[in-house]
């Protein structure tokens, strides 16, 4: 399991999740419209989920159906070309 950031982050991107993540696994780069959790590095601690002001973060197996595209987008995201934090 991992956690996924979904569409409500777009337009917010306040970085609250970044501030509480103990392993710095929430990434972005210039041009992104939201943040991405690196599934290889996420330790599934769930600290980010309750601090998101727009309820954008879900465990991957609880992602609402209309947000499933964000699971695919996360799989396709190039974390090697990105950095932890809010870099948009
Ligand atoms: S679940 Fe924990 S480790 Fe994973 S992104 Fe959220 S705060 Fe970071
Ligand atoms: S806390 Fe929520 S809205 Fe803020 S950056 Fe993280 S996912 Fe986006």
Q: What is the pLDDT of residues 55-78, one digit of tens each?
A: 999 999 999 999 999 999 999 999
Contacts for 68-72 with beta carbons within 8 Å, 24 or more apart? 70/4, 70/5, 70/6, 70/7, 71/4
Does 20 sit in the ligand 2 pocket, CB within 6 Å?
Answer: no
Does 12 sit in the ligand 2 pocket, CB within 6 Å?
Answer: yes
Atom of ligand 2 nearest to the CA of 34: 8
How confident is the model at residue 61, as a pLDDT? Answer: 95
How confident is the model at residue 16, as a pLDDT? Answer: 98
**CATH code of the domain covering residue 13:** 3.30.70.20
- pTM (whole model) above 0.85: yes
> Measured between alpha carbons, how far apart are the two ends of the chain, in Å?
26
How confident is the model at residue 53, as a pLDDT? Answer: 98
| The total number of structural domains that make up the chain | 1
Residue 20 pLDDT class (50, 70, 90 cuts): very high
Residue 32 pLDDT class (50, 70, 90 cuts): very high
């Amino acid at each position: 399991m991992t956690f996924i950031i979904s569409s409500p982050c777009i337009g917010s991107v306040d970085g609250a999740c970044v501030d509480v993540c103990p392993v710095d696994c929430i990434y972005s780069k210039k041009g992104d419209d939201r943040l991405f959790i690196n599934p290889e590095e996420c330790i599934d601690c769930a600290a980010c989920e309750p601090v998101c002001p727009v309820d954008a973060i879900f465990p991957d197996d609880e992602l609402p159906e209309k947000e499933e595209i964000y699971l695919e987008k996360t799989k396709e995201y190039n974390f090697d070309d990105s950095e932890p934090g809010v870099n948009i």
